[in-house]
């Protein structure tokens, strides 16, 4: 009888240990899947250089509600997803708005790209930069986004112009880096209009 209990206990312990090792191994593999990250600019540096000088920087959170989502779809044919959005604003001593900065994470293949999009007080794009990306995609992103003038195509534009410009990339595959970045730029331009009109 004792041998049977011992054998059952041994089998159970072995099974649980195997299950733990498999799950732990999968978690480690998934956690490090995107590999090391290449940082082009730290978030703090982006806040200093992409926002107007002399302003007080304030971190804001706003909710994109269902009715605003539907309103954006009706007006522009596109809307960012419902939910909470974080962004930064810069104000002068009198409380006047000087600029707005969105820092967005984009899922790309097996990693994340961090994109910063700055707007002036009138809602025109002032600066757009890639802050970081998985190191293994540096060549891809440098050649296709950073050095070929792609981001500059969206500078000094307001929401309606950005929506119109984004249509030039409709034929790009949805998971291409160009398409994903255009989607984020378009999304933040719409969010500015939504939050300013609220």
For the chain, list residues with pLDDT below 70.
Answer: 1-34, 198
Encode pLDDT of 26-74 as tens digits.
Answer: 334 444 455 799 999 999 999 999 999 889 999 999 999 999 999 999 9
Confidence (pTM) = 0.80
Q: List 193's β-bridge partners, or say none.
A: none
């Amino acid at each position: 009888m004792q041998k049977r209990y011992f054998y059952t206990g041994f089998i159970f312990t072995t099974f649980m240990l195997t299950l733990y090792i498999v799950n732990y191994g999968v978690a480690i593999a998934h956690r490090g899947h995107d590999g090391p990250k290449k940082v082009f600019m730290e978030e703090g540096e982006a806040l200093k250089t992409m926002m107007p000088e002399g302003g007080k920087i304030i971190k804001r959170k706003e909710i994109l509600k269902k009715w605003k989502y539907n309103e954006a779809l009706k007006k522009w044919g596109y809307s960012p997803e419902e939910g909470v959005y974080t962004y930064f604003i810069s104000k002068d001593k009198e409380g006047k708005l000087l600029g707005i900065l969105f820092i967005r994470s984009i899922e790309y293949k097996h990693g994340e790209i961090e994109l910063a999009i700055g707007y002036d007080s009138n809602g025109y794009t002032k600066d757009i930069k890639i802050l970081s990306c998985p190191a293994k995609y540096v060549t891809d992103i440098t050649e296709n986004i950073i050095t070929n003038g792609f981001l500059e195509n969206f500078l000094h534009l307001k929401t309606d112009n950005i929506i119109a410009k984004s249509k030039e990339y409709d034929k790009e595959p949805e998971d291409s880096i160009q398409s994903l970045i255009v989607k984020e730029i378009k999304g933040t331009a719409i969010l500015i209009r939504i939050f300013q009109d609220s």
